[in-house]
Chain A
Amino acid sequence: MKRTIALAILGAAALVAIGRGAAVDRTALAKTQAALTTEYGQAKDSNFYFVLDVLGRKLELRVRGMVLKSWPLRAMRFWGNPGFAGTVELVRKTTLKAPERIVIKPGDTEEPEPAPAEAAKPAAKGAAAPASPAEFDLEALELKDMPKKFSLDFDNGLRITIKAGAGGSKGLAGTLKDAWHWYIDLPLRNLFGSREGKKISELELTFEQGQEAQAIYWHFFDGIKGIVL
């Protein structure tokens, strides 16, 4: 009798476990299906797109389903309406000091400034050459000229602030400004609504290196589409 009861209990437990397992699988299946459908919508075109995997804590640049570049997140934090996942389009990049292109107008100055190719000509024999190519100060827009802190505004109202963790000290004023923005300004704007009357969704992503933030600024052009998972 005892053995029968024990077997019945075990059987019931197994049935419950199988049932739960099936439920978990069906959820995973739904997630996979949704993720693949969304990504295929982007990947079938030749345009680059990004995938922000919030749970996987990484930001990726992709084309045709291939990962071109992956930036792991060091930290992230969020204020506002959490319903921002899905397909988004970058509307605007904002930074305190946006990099500017160098404009060359030959003939406008008394001595025309050398073009990059000219600056790159091999040095004459005996001339002291800089030890490293990185020492050349070129007239060019390079990765090092990109900002390490900036905001990306998307068409669904989501604003993502990108910054680097190892960017050095911001000073007392910078720290106070950041603290005011994150701990006072954003909560109040979230309570009363933003200026445009939209609910705010502000995500702050921190990356390990300054170069990672700079590369994101470089690669994320206006109009780039992406998927927020």
Chain B
Amino acid sequence: MIKRVLIAVAALAGLGFLAVVGAAYLIGFKQVSAWPPAESVRPVAEKDVSRAERNVQQLEKRMTALLPRGLYIVIDTAANRLYLKEGAKVVREAVISCGSGVVLEEPGGKKRSWVFDTPRGEFSVKSKITNPYWVKPDWAFIEEGEAIPKGLEDRIESGTLGDYALGFGQGYFIHGTLYTRLLGRNVTHGCVRVGDDDLKAVFKAVPIGAKIYIY
């Protein structure tokens, strides 16, 4: 007797669950049938057509005005690729190295830390330097477990940045590298490393003020 009651209760519970799920599906399918909302925009009123057309033309002009003029640089930090572009056309594509994303913490309870990310956003070429030398910042010594020198001359290192460097602000540069076999990997301290030939071509092509988009 108890067994039969239990079976009946289980059956009722199962049926109830199925009924609820069925109701959920009915409501869900009704909503989904309204998606994607293809015709959700109301047509422009007859009398407003010319005004809307003028508005569209104005918006298109404004959008075009936002686009960079002349050559510009686009950097994909995930794929480690640099694109030299003019309009929609890719003039040159280069394999590069971007920031490693590593965090360096200063030992000795000094609480200073650095995140080695390549900054993302819209920048512009602020400086063009031939035969650049590297003024090693504090983190470069901390990372190598060396004492931070007091004199500027002890911080200067030549040859590390290659033949050319393009500065885009806050100490970040697009420059050359000694570690060409690591191009294509995220290994830098935030700068963008480019191979010699590509760097030379990009350096010669872009003027100061050229836009750089890093994403």
User: Quick one: which of A73-90 are within 8 Å of B by CB?
Assistant: 78-83, 85
Residue B44, interface by CB 8 Å: yes
Partner of B101 from the list A48, A105, A106, A140 (CB cut-off 8 Å) is A140
A165 to B14, CA, bound (A): 34
Partner of B187 from the list A30, A116, A129, A143 (CB cut-off 8 Å) is A116
Q: For B45, what are the chain A residues with a Cβ–Cβ distance below 8 Å?
A: 26
Binding site for A on B (CB under 8 A): 20-21, 23-25, 27-28, 31-32, 34-46, 49, 52-53, 55-56, 59-60, 62-64, 66-68, 74, 76-79, 100-105, 107-108, 115-116, 120-122, 142-145, 178-179, 181-189, 213, 215
A113–chain B nearest beta-carbon distance, Å: 10
Known: A105-B107, A122-B178, A191-B24. A143 touches B78 (CB 8 A): yes
| Pairwise interchain contact A29-B44, C-beta atoms closer than 8 A | yes
Interface of A, helix, strand, loop or mixed by DSSP: mixed
A221 to B187, CA, bound (A): 21
| Pairwise interchain contact B101-A190, C-beta atoms closer than 8 A | no
| Interface membership of chain A positions 116-139, coded 1 if the CB is closer than 8 angstroms to chain B and 0 otherwise | 111111100000010001101011
Known: A79-B28, A138-B187, A141-B100. A117 touches B213 (CB 8 A): no
5 pairs of A and B residues whose beta carbons are closest in the complex: A141-B101, A82-B35, A187-B24, A107-B107, A140-B100
| Pairwise interchain contact A187-B100, C-beta atoms closer than 8 A | no
A98 to B83, CA, bound (A): 29
Which chain B residue lies CB-closest to A145? B101
| Pairwise interchain contact B145-A106, C-beta atoms closer than 8 A | yes
Which chain A residue lies CB-closest to B105? A105
Residue A32, interface by CB 8 Å: yes
| Pairwise interchain contact B68-A64, C-beta atoms closer than 8 A | yes
A36 to B63, CA, bound (A): 8
A191 to B186, CA, bound (A): 46
Residue A5, interface by CB 8 Å: no
Residues of A in contact with B, size category: 35 or more
Q: Which of A7-15, A37-45, A170-178 contacts B (4 or more CB under 8 A)?
A: A37-45
Known: A64-B68, A79-B28, A187-B21. A106 touches B143 (CB 8 A): yes
Residue A4, interface by CB 8 Å: no
A143 to B59, CA, bound (A): 36
B39–chain A nearest beta-carbon distance, Å: 7
Known: A101-B115, A143-B79. A116 touches B43 (CB 8 A): no
| Pairwise interchain contact A219-B44, C-beta atoms closer than 8 A | no
| Pairwise interchain contact B42-A30, C-beta atoms closer than 8 A | yes
| Interface membership of chain A positions 151-172, coded 1 if the CB is closer than 8 angstroms to chain B and 0 otherwise | 0000000000000000000000
B46–chain A nearest beta-carbon distance, Å: 7
| Pairwise interchain contact B24-A36, C-beta atoms closer than 8 A | no
Cross-chain pairs A/B with CB under 8 angstroms, 11 sampled:
A29-B52, A29-B56, A32-B56, A40-B62, A63-B215, A69-B76, A116-B116, A117-B143, A117-B187, A129-B181, A133-B183
Residue among B24, B74, B188 with the highest chain A CB neighbour number at 10 A: B24
A139 to B185, CA, bound (A): 11
Residue A222, interface by CB 8 Å: no
Q: For A80, what are the chain B residues with a Cβ–Cβ distance below 8 Å?
A: 28, 31
Residue A91, interface by CB 8 Å: no
| Pairwise interchain contact A82-B34, C-beta atoms closer than 8 A | yes
Q: For A198, what are the chain B residues with a Cβ–Cβ distance below 8 Å?
A: none
Residue A68, interface by CB 8 Å: yes
A157–chain B nearest beta-carbon distance, Å: 14
A84–chain B nearest beta-carbon distance, Å: 9
Q: For B76, what are the chain A residues with a Cβ–Cβ distance below 8 Å?
A: 68-69
Residue A96, interface by CB 8 Å: no
User: Quick one: which of A40-54 are within 8 Å of B by CB?
Assistant: 40, 43-44, 46-48, 54
A32 to B188, CA, bound (A): 43
